[in-house]
Amino acid sequence: MPWRLLKFALNPNHSEPRFFPPETPLKERYDMVIIGGGGHGLACAYYLAREHGVTNVAVLEQGYLGGGNTGRNTTIVRSNYLTPEGVQFYDASLKLFEDLAEDFDLNIFYSNRGHYTLAHTDSAMRTMRWRAEVNKHFGIDSEVVDRSHIAANVPDMDLDCGGDAPVLGALWHAPGAVARHDAVAWGYGRGAYQRGVEIHQKTRVTGIKVDDGKVRGVSTSRGDIACDKVISMVAGSSPRITSMVGLETPIEIYPLQACVTEPVKPFLDTIIVSGSLHAYVSQSSRGELVMGASVDPNVLHSTRSSFDFVEELADKMLDLFPFTGRLRVMRQWAGMSDITPDFAPIMGKTPIEGFYLDAGWGTWGFKATPISGKTMAWTAVNDRNHELIEPFRLERFADFVQVGERGAASVGH
Amino acid sequence: MSCRLPIQPFEWLDRHQRVRFTLEGRGFEGYPGDCVSSALWASGQRLLGRSFKYHRPRGLLSLANHDINALYENADDTHIRGDVTPISAGLQLSATNTPGGLWHDRMRWLGRLSPMLRVGFYYKAFHSPRRLFPFWEGVIRRAAGLGKVNTAWRRQVTPKWYTHCEVLVIGAGPAGMQAALHAAEGGARVILVDENPHIGGSLDYAWVHDSEAASIRVQLKQAIKAHPGIQVMTGTVAGGWYADQWIPLCTPDGIAKTRAGTMIVASGLLEQPAVFHNNDLPGVMLASGAQRLVARYAVQPCRRALLLVANDEGYRAALDMVAAGVELVAVADLGDPDARSALADELRSEGVPVFARHMIHEAEGSDGVTGAVIAPRIADGQLDLSASRRFACDGILMSVGWAPAAHLLYQAGGKLGYDERIGQIVPRELPDGVYAAGRVNGVFALADQLQDARRAAADALAVLAGHTPKGDPLRWRSRDCHSADWPIAEHPKGKNFVDMDEDLQLRDLLDAAAEGFDNIELIKRFSTVGMGPSQGKHANMNAIRVLARTLGQTIDQTGSTTARPFYHPQRLDHLAGRRFRVHQRSALHEQHVAAGAMFMEAGHWQRPDYYGSPAEREDQIRAEVRAVRNGLGIIDVSTLGKIEVLGPDAARLLDAVYTMRMTNVKQGMTRYALSVDETGVIVDDGIVGRLGADRFYVTTTTSHAAASYRQLGRYTAEWGLNVRILNRTGQLAAMNLAGPHSRRLLATLTDLDLSEDAFPYLGIREAEVAGIPARLMRVGFVGELGYEIHVPYTCAAELWQRLMADGDDYGIRPFGVEAQRRLRLEKGHIIVGQDSDGLTTPYEAGMPWSVHLKKPFFVGRQTLEVLQPRTARQLVGFALPTNYTGPELCECLLVIADGNIRGRVTSVSYSPTLGHLIGLAMIDKPLAGIDQPLPIRTTDGRIVEARQVATPFYDPEGLRQRADLQLAEAV
Amino acid sequence: MKLIPLPDLGPRPRSEFDYGGELRRPPMGADTALWAAYVFNRQGAPGLLREWWYHRPTGAWYLFERDTLADRFIRHIPVQDIQYELPSADPAV
């Protein structure tokens, strides 16, 4: 048993330090304000403090820490994207993820399970090969594999999918992992707090003050704050914030749903994604099957659940794992996703001086948490887009330049 | 030691039979109607299961489908809930998550480690050194999880069906029954659901000996049974509430998807446990659980009980226990018994000592309750242990408070809040058409519950009639407290469980809050309170109380977590229902089967990939290609989208939708139809043919058929055009007769003048072929003289057979999709979606000729105007030498120059006509140029240098479109 | 399942519809910046949104104003109200 647990046993009265501060009043002025206390916002605060020494920072969260999409996603980390810009960006994120637990001294349950993206059609096989070739080019461990590879690793899967659209092969991405999403946010939050950043929960931003095209401050449900730099990191609610500064974006909000079964003993180690079946599944360390599909088919600003979602998902899941029919869905939920036309994020500077945007995270924001925090911190400090995020700048749309990520991200897990 | 009681008035048992079953090899017996837990308990078996984390012995708690610690599995299922699953003959069960078995669980020592396993312990250990984490993760994963999955299980197909009603009543207790009856008497069609096998609810377990209840019971049940407007669904759980009153009613046989006009939630309350040391020992149970055990299953909960109460319900339960022969050693009242109704006096008169303002300090025992220690409560929830008293008993019954079963109310968008007076969360604001009645609405007295139910039903009827409901949901709400605000006692040894699903002790929550997880959502996520299979039905309320007190807040300020579907977990089998998969088959499918086709999936369609055996696939494909090039081939192209566009504005519509000019297509001619979206990206291609001034016939790709039809309709509406659009995709079959013999064969079957002048390349004609009305188009996709023949699907097989029979002389051969791909590749024609990607413009695809920017408007025109000069990629043709023997080339290999990705192969295959590999690649424009090298990197990293060549690879002048063997021979 | 209130057929289940997205009108003759904004930008914030819905069983398009926060269909918009002229092309030949 690890020594720290022995310490608990030997000193029953030992109390652990706080992760997060108790509520304190807002200061009148901060150097920077981060809107959104999810993974991205807390990561940005952490890197601002740790790498740039910027600690006069307030993270404003309308609800509770990690309560938005950070706490609602299905925790998959991977870097097997399609475009060079995507692959390099997510690979940098994955590498940061691998070190996080030790950086934080907090177990984020980063669990390297391996990740299959199943192909059921010729055209899907072509896309898998494309992704594999681009991935390999950047030194990322991805390859197109045949049915026998899948059968060896996931012997209980029905590769014939009940007789329709059998699996032809897959993209195998060995570094694919899952992590405990909440712990990632808590680790970043604790690290930022320990370095002097202020974290304010239940503090809703109601307006952003802009003069002469420059950010001057933020109005909140708890009063006004002066600042020169605001970083919006609120995927799922980005248009609400951008509309405060009169910024138009291509982002539309679509719900993304997921569900879990009752916890059972481990039988599935790898992460399985099927674009054709619009379904993905992994088994959490608690033993629940964590399942999801693609975004809902229309715009909606709500985290309501729909029954059609769980019906459809169950039906498809049983094609892959017929024996799970006897497992029971315990809970379903939804998050709101920022969807962009090219399935790539929108990051960096904006036409408004001092207003930085980290948005458009679609269904893949969790896996980008570390690198988004790191590059956005750099960008805000230097007032210049970090090179890794330059392809994701908002102005690309005005230039009719899209990132070609649609093929890899349309079922984005 | 049997604890079975004499026959109880409303018991569920069939005493005429006996049912034998086994638990881990030990035989047990019960009656039909028993659940597993009641049968075991009746046999004196009090160890029903083990807890999740510490593997502590656990017994009965609620008997209401929330007893997560009595979970079983067998060959057919897992997570079988003992407290609701009926026993059946031959049932063989074992307890879940008990290595070594229920009685000898090897993990039962884990409780001793609890000081180490503090809340969130796994976040604080096992991650360093990193290389050991996989080991620890394995240990944790194996320890977590409850049941075992049997991977040999197969899908059990169950039905789903639809129902409708005007009033859906959830819960068939007194309020639910009354609401259903009142609504039905008001003329509404009513569905009344209850998760229990019988209606009655609390009336039949909490009011058994009440004289007022007796007449109500008879009257309600008889009236409900007799009323034709009420459909009763027992054994049915309302799984969740979804938009527009869409509610899955989950029955044991499948799910009834129900659209309800209005919904009355009369789901009652979930009794909440008290929190004290060893409050999880077998023998500690909820008073309502004990009442259910007695009333439904005629089982005595224990011999000697101590009762902890904080409400009238507890005293009524006490009297029920006395009636069941249970000796009450004491009643500890958290508050003042004299402030309650006369029930306390009634008990005292029975000789039961009643202690005011006392709380249980601890329960004693190791495998079951042997005693209880109570102590007076002093300020701030502390106990005065100096005045404690010990009682020997084998049962502790708790009646200290309630939480509403308000899940559907939350999901429907209801706002709920804490009523300090009754100590319960109650509805504050409910959406239109949603009502709460009875105890879930804070109404406790039986007569008041019935009044409240009538009020809710009247409101529902008013809404259905289009009137404004006038009822006052507060009118009948109870005025006295039914839930203690602090039914919780600290204990130096802990083991005072707040969440028995997750084995969370009071200290775990206090520690979590102290570590900064001090709001209800964070504490839930860090401690996992409420995340077990019961989703906190017995834990969330106490967790809120703990946090509120810790923070010095009210319950409302502390808030509650969201109650998400499902109310009870639902099987994937049931959620999935019947397995429906769409398969589309062409009208010629049987012809292909007869001809030995090997099929491939193209969307929902099954299309012939090639004809012949898989072993000879390549040979067959090459032979099919050769047949088209040198003789005669025929392919089924029925899957193409086929749309008629009719009306005075038809030409304007098509002109605005497609990139090429369509207004000047001459009657009897066709034109290539390429469409792009607003971003200038290619989305579809096909043919536009003009049959008359106002009549066009349009084809689209297979995959885009539905979308193209849809888009045309929308633009027609948006632009206010006078156009009719007909989708003929399913009505018409189509086949492409291609090859230099095609005209010769066709001429024998039609009177149409097929001469080059009369029916030129790209022409479209309507005529009879073999007596079948047909549309014929001379198209060039495969690059030979050919006719695409569209006929009603009913005649397709006849025509196909005729063409095959008559074409025999010319060596006709059906060809499949793969041969067609090779043929089109030889011609350099793109396949949308393969040679184009999600960003490809017509300029990149090498088709600038297809974009008529001079038109004033078409969808995407202005974008293409911007993008034209910025075109950075180009689709180029490439070839490898005839004698190429290098590594295999396949689609999506990358083009690499100077170590950078500069493009990718979009199509590549062996050209049977040219005798070497040809392909298309989308590459950076600077690299493009005829005869320039094209370095392709193979999967294993080798570079293959191909050479860029002009396209079409075959017949660049297009002479073959007119190549007619008959003519040639004649000359 | 959500119901969509058709003006002529009454409420129909969501599953019968395809979503057509936000109603937009191309700014004919706009400069490139305005055109790019038209092509890509959307009204992303919650509120009233005018949207296209395609009803598959009837093959008809409908326009509704919907509250995207409450998911409430507020009103049906007759297509005549939003029609615009195509830029004049050659008269139909």
**B82 lies in some domain:** yes
Residue A279 has pLDDT above 60, yes or no: yes
Q: List, for residues B360-381, the tens digit of each pLDDT value.
A: 999 999 999 999 999 999 987 8
Torsion of CA B845, B849, B854, B858, to 10 degrees: -50
**C42 lies in some domain:** yes
DSSP SS3 for A302: coil
**B587 lies in some domain:** no
Q: List the domain range (segments joined by +) for residue C49.
A: 3-28+37-81
A272 with A393, same domain: the answer is no
B690 with B783, same domain: the answer is yes
Tokens of B653: 């519509």
d(CA A300, CA A255): 6
DSSP SS3 for A40: helix
Q: Do A400 and C49 make contact, defined as CB atoms within 8 angstroms?
A: no
B387 with B441, same domain: the answer is no
Q: List the domain range (segments joined by +) for residue B664.
A: 635-823
Residue A230 has pLDDT above 90, yes or no: yes
Tokens of B657: 């939708």
Contact residues, B window 46-85, toward A, CB-based 8 Å cutoff: 76-79
Q: Check if the beta carbon of residue A397 is closer than 8 Å to that of residue A360.
A: no
pLDDT value of position C92:
43
Sheet containing strand A214-220, strands side by side:
A205-211, A214-220, A223-226
Question: Residue C64: its chain B contacts at CB < 8 A?
Answer: none
Q: Check if the beta carbon of residue B697 is closer than 8 Å to that of residue C61.
A: no
Q: Check if the beta carbon of residue B946 is closer than 8 Å to that of residue B878.
A: yes
A138 with A258, same domain: the answer is yes
Q: For B899, left (φ over 0), alpha (ψ -120 to 50), or beta?
A: left
A293 with A354, same domain: the answer is no
B649 with B789, same domain: the answer is yes
Residue A410 has pLDDT above 70, yes or no: no
- CB atoms under 10 Å from CB of B503, counted, come to 25
**Residues contacting B479, CB < 8 A, separation 6+:** B421, B422
> Looking at A123-127, B291-295, B445-449, B964-968, which range is the least confident one?
B964-968
Give the domain CATH number at C65.
3.30.2270.10
Q: List, for residues B893-910, the tens digit of each pLDDT value.
A: 999 999 999 999 999 999
Q: Do A162 and B155 make contact, defined as CB atoms within 8 angstroms?
A: yes
Q: Which of C2, C30, C92 faces B649 most closely, judged by CB atoms? A: C92
**C12 lies in some domain:** yes
Rounded to an integer, the average pLDDT of B651-664 is 97
Mean pLDDT value across chain B? 96
A257 with A324, same domain: the answer is yes
pLDDT value of position B745:
96
Q: Which of A238, A304, A400 faces C44 most closely, judged by CB atoms? A: A238
Q: Which of C39, C54, C93 faces B679 most closely, judged by CB atoms? A: C39
Tokens of B160: 């789903």
B815 with B933, same domain: the answer is no
Which secondary structure element, helix H or strand E, spans residue C15, and what is its range?
A: none
A256 with A332, same domain: the answer is yes
- DSSP-derived secondary structure for B432-480: TTEEE-GGGGT--SHHHHHHHHHHHHHHHHHHHTTPPP---TTTT---S
Instruction: Indicate the number of domains in chain C.
Output: 1
Chain C residues whose C-beta sits inside 8 Å of any chain B C-beta: 1-3, 11, 18, 20, 26, 28, 30, 32, 35-36, 38-40, 52, 54, 59-61, 71, 79-80, 82-90, 92-93
**A4 lies in some domain:** no
B375 with B420, same domain: the answer is no
Chain C residues whose C-beta sits inside 8 Å of any chain A C-beta: 1-2, 14-15, 18-19, 21-22, 33, 36-37, 39-46, 49, 51, 68-71
**Full-model pTM:** 0.96
Q: List, for residues B153-187, the tens digit of each pLDDT value.
A: 999 999 999 999 999 999 999 999 999 999 999 99
**B618 lies in some domain:** no
B787 with B858, same domain: the answer is no
**B211 lies in some domain:** yes
Residue A409 has pLDDT above 80, yes or no: no
Phi, psi of A9, deg, nearest 5: -70, -40
Q: List, for residues B842-853, the tens digit of each pLDDT value.
A: 999 999 999 999
Instruction: Indicate the number of domains in chain A.
Output: 2
B808 with B704, same domain: the answer is yes
Q: Do A341 and C44 make contact, defined as CB atoms within 8 angstroms?
A: no
Give the domain CATH number at A160.
3.30.9.10
Q: List the domain range (segments joined by +) for residue A190.
A: 29-73+182-249+342-409
Q: Domain boundary at A304, A339, A374, which? A: A339
A205 with A143, same domain: the answer is no
Residue located via tokens 């881990």: B24
Q: Check if the beta carbon of residue B406 is closer than 8 Å to that of residue B416.
A: yes
**Residues contacting A188, CB < 8 A, separation 6+:** A39, A42, A43, A45, A46, A104, A369, A373
Q: Domain boundary at B138, B154, B170, which? A: B154
Tokens of B897: 């120059």
**C88 lies in some domain:** no
Q: Check if the beta carbon of residue B445 is closer than 8 Å to that of residue B478.
A: yes
Question: CA distances (Å), B722 to each of B101, B478, B718, B800, in order?
Answer: 77, 66, 11, 37
**C90 lies in some domain:** no
Q: Domain boundary at B545, B572, B599, which? A: B572
**B666 lies in some domain:** yes
If we measure between CA atoms, which residue out of B958, B910, B953 comes closest to residue B783?
Answer: B958
Question: CA distances (Å), A35 to each of A22, A219, B451, B571, in order?
Answer: 19, 11, 50, 40
Compute and round to an integer the Cα radius of gyration of chain A.
21
Q: Do C85 and B856 make contact, defined as CB atoms within 8 angstroms?
A: no
Contact residues, B window 467-496, toward C, CB-based 8 Å cutoff: none
Percent of chain B topping pLDDT 70: 100
pLDDT value of position C93:
40
Question: Residue A197: its chain B contacts at CB < 8 A?
Answer: none
A159 with A228, same domain: the answer is no
d(CA A130, CA A80): 10
**B140 lies in some domain:** yes
Sheet containing strand C72-77, strands side by side:
C17-22, C48-55, C60-67, C72-77
B6 with B143, same domain: the answer is yes
Residue located via tokens 């938009």: B243
CA distance B194 to chain C (A): 22
pLDDT value of position B116:
87
B786 with B757, same domain: the answer is yes
Q: Domain boundary at B572, B595, B624, which? A: B572
Please list the helix, strand and coil fractions of chain A in percent, rounded to the nearest 5, in that order.
35, 25, 40
Contact residues, A window 344-373, toward B, CB-based 8 Å cutoff: none
Strand partners, B123: none
Q: Domain boundary at A296, A320, A339, which? A: A339
Q: pLDDT tier at B339 (50, 70, 90 boundaries)?
A: confident
Task: Give yes or no for a cis peptide into A322 (omega within 30° of 0).
Answer: no
A54 with A123, same domain: the answer is no
d(CA B750, CA B753): 8
Minimum CA–CA partner of C41 in chain A = A250
Tokens of A76: 């998959």
A271 with A158, same domain: the answer is yes
Percent of chain B topping pLDDT 90: 94
CA distance B65 to chain A (A): 13
Q: Domain boundary at A292, A324, A339, which? A: A339
Question: Residue A102: its chain B contacts at CB < 8 A?
Answer: 127-128, 130
> Is A4 part of the contact surface with chain B (CB cutoff 8 Å)?
yes
Rounded to an integer, the average pLDDT of A53-77 is 96
d(CA A143, CA A170): 8
Chosen from C56, C82, C86 to mutate, greatest number of chain B CBs within 10 A: C86
**A94 lies in some domain:** no
CA distance B37 to chain C (A): 37
Q: Long-range pairs for C43-49 at CB < 8 Å and ≥24 separation?
A: C43/A239, C44/A238, C44/A239, C44/A242, C44/A243, C44/A249, C44/A250, C44/A251, C44/A252, C44/A253, C44/A338, C45/A239, C45/A240, C45/A242, C45/A243, C46/A239, C46/A240, C46/A253, C46/A301, C48/C74, C49/A299, C49/C22
Q: Do C93 and B663 make contact, defined as CB atoms within 8 angstroms?
A: yes
Q: List, for residues A285-324, the tens digit of each pLDDT value.
A: 999 999 999 999 999 999 999 999 999 999 999 999 999 9
Question: Residue A239: its chain C contacts at CB < 8 A?
Answer: 43-46
Q: Which of A249, A297, A307 faces C44 most closely, judged by CB atoms? A: A249
B312-323 vs B287-297: helix crossing angle, rounded to 10 = 40
Q: Check if the beta carbon of residue A171 is closer than 8 Å to that of residue A144.
A: yes
* Buried b / exposed e along B725-745 (16+ C-beta atoms within 10 A): bebbbeebbbbbbbbbbbbbb
Give the domain CATH number at B744.
3.30.1360.120
Rounded to an integer, the average pLDDT of B118-141 is 92
A49 with A124, same domain: the answer is no
Q: pLDDT tier at A407 (50, 70, 90 boundaries)?
A: low
Torsion of CA B852, B857, B863, B868, to 10 degrees: 20
Give the domain CATH number at B927.
2.40.30.110
Name the H helices within B611-699: 617-630, 650-657
pLDDT value of position B153:
96
Residue A215 has pLDDT above 90, yes or no: yes
B260 with B289, same domain: the answer is no
A300 with A287, same domain: the answer is yes
Instruction: Indicate the number of domains in chain B.
Output: 6
d(CA C40, CA B574): 42
**A2 lies in some domain:** no
Tokens of A150: 């899948």
Please list the helix, strand and coil fractions of chain C in percent, rounded to the nearest 5, in that order.
15, 40, 45
Strand partners, B773: B768
- DSSP-derived secondary structure for B511-564: HHHHTT--SHHHHHHHH-TT-STTTTTTTHHHHHHHHHHHHT--HHHH------
Rounded to an integer, the average pLDDT of B878-895 is 96
**C15 lies in some domain:** yes
Contact residues, A window 23-82, toward B, CB-based 8 Å cutoff: 63-67, 71
If we measure between CA atoms, which residue out of A245, A195, A277, A201 comes closest to residue A356?
Answer: A245
- DSSP-derived secondary structure for B369-406: --EEEEEEB-GGG-B-GGG-EEEE-SEEEEE--EEE--
**B476 lies in some domain:** no
Q: Do B566 and A329 make contact, defined as CB atoms within 8 angstroms?
A: yes
Q: Check if the beta carbon of residue A32 is closer than 8 Å to that of residue A230.
A: yes
Name the H helices within A113-180: 122-137, 147-153
> Is B140 part of the contact surface with chain A (CB cutoff 8 Å)?
yes
Residue A280 has pLDDT above 60, yes or no: yes
Tokens of A24: 């304190």
The greatest distance separating any two alpha carbons of chain C, rounded to the nearest whole angstrom, comes to: 48
- End-to-end alpha carbon distance in chain C: 47
d(CA B780, CA B474): 77
Question: CA distances (Å), B966 to each of B366, B624, B630, in order?
Answer: 100, 21, 12
Residue C71 has pLDDT above 80, yes or no: yes
d(CA A196, CA B287): 51
Rounded to an integer, the average pLDDT of B873-890 is 96
Strand partners, B299: B4
Question: Residue C36: its chain A contacts at CB < 8 A?
Answer: 397-400
If we measure between CA atoms, which residue out of B160, B126, B163, B167 comes closest to residue B143?
Answer: B126
Tokens of B849: 């000729």
A276 with A329, same domain: the answer is yes
Tokens of B416: 């709920």
Please list the helix, strand and coil fractions of chain B in percent, rounded to the nearest 5, in that order.
30, 30, 45
Q: pLDDT tier at A405 (50, 70, 90 boundaries)?
A: confident
Residue A408 has pLDDT above 70, yes or no: no
B329 with B281, same domain: the answer is yes
Q: Long-range pairs for C63-70 at CB < 8 Å and ≥24 separation?
A: C63/C23, C64/C4, C68/A253, C68/A299, C68/A300, C68/A301, C69/A301, C69/A302, C70/A302
ipTM: 0.96
pLDDT value of position B342:
84
B136 with B46, same domain: the answer is yes
> Is B891 part of the contact surface with chain A (CB cutoff 8 Å)?
yes
**C93 lies in some domain:** no
Q: List, for residues B202-257, the tens digit of each pLDDT value.
A: 999 999 999 999 999 999 999 999 999 999 999 999 999 999 999 999 999 999 99
- Bridge-based pairing state of the strands A271-274 and A252-261: unpaired
